[in-house]
Structure 1
Amino acid sequence: MSEKARPTRREAYRHFTILPTRWGDNDVYGHVNNVVYYAFFDTAVNRHLIEQGVLDIANNKIVGLVIETKCTFFSSVAFPDTVHIGLKVIHLGNSSVRYEIALFRNESHEACAVGQFVHVYVERANNRSVPIPEAVRAVLESIAA
């Protein structure tokens, strides 16, 4: 039997993105809907790559495609909370990268959700796997655990 998942703490992450929740993020149960957590993950990863100058979403010939995601929920987030998104690389392969992403509600030091997100790098023209470009690899190595 596997050990029960536990929330991680802020200090475990190398990079943070801060996003406000929106009124429309809440569902009928009064908290941010689970699908929004995945949008937070996607936004944090891609924003970091764009800010580091290694992702041009319109023009890169080599792009990372998501092939796997998962999320473990520990506590709720609700509008008007601010989400602090911790990001680190936990595996860097030849053509793929696995990120660990944690969501922190407002100033909490314990994650309310922890997930993983895997990009496989491909040629945009044919979706064939290729090695991670060196400039991208350097950015990924800078946030590796």
Structure 2
Amino acid sequence: MNDTPQRADYRHFQPIVTRWHDNDVYGHINNVTYYSFFDSAVNTYLIEQGGLDIHDGETVGFVVSSSCDYFASIAYPELIEVGLRVGKLGNSSVQYELAVFKAGEEEARAAGRFVHVFVDRASNQPVPIPTGLRQALERLVA
């Protein structure tokens, strides 16, 4: 039985082109870079599909928890696709489940999770997820 996440497990895909400086001295994408891929995939989705205004919006998302498991390496240059789904959707928080795939591959090279808590920009206090964002996130619920 294979426990590696599969492409069919995800609802949305964000293409990303790796960059020269993503590689580390061992010749593959450095482990911390995967968190950047996750953050970029989620925020691109929230901006494009949920109307998140990262510059002037009253609500912002803070990452409060994250993790990643690695199954196989990737190296520059490579086109990857980050699969995205929502594992848990609360009143003010959401747990994303993500996986990194080489373009066209069915099996993930890495998979991770992170939690956003949505807060009021001015007070940094948790607030209910705004309607547009919630609707976009509901489309990703696994």
Fold equivalence (TM over 0.5):
yes
Match of 1:110, SS state, is coil
Q: Give yes or no for contact 2:50–2:135 (8 Å, CA) kept in 1.
A: no
Alignment of 1:48-67 (within 5 A): 48-67=45-64
Sequence identity percentage: 53
CA distance in 2: counterparts of 1:65 and 1:54, whole angstroms: 17
1:27 matched to 2:20:
no
CA distance in 2: counterparts of 1:24 and 1:48, whole angstroms: 24
Deviations 1:59-89, CA, capped at 9 Å, x for gaps? 1101111101100000001011111100000
Q: Give 1:53 shift.
A: 4.4
Equivalent residue, structure 1, for 2:79: 82
Equivalent residue, structure 2, for 1:13: 10
Match of 1:132, SS state, is coil
Alignment of 1:65-144 (within 5 A): 65-144=62-141
CA distance in 1: counterparts of 2:106 and 2:31, whole angstroms: 21
Deviations 1:4-33, CA, capped at 9 Å, x for gaps? x93100011000000111111100000000
Unmatched 5+ residue regions in structure 1? Answer: none
Letter paired with 2:111: V
What RMSD, in angstroms, separates the aligned Cα atoms of the two structures?
1.1
Unmatched 5+ residue regions in structure 2? Answer: none
CA distance in 2: counterparts of 1:55 and 1:7, whole angstroms: 31
TM-score by length of 2: 0.96
Question: Any runs of at least 4 consecutive aligned residues in structure 1 with deviations exceeding 2 A, and if so which?
Answer: none
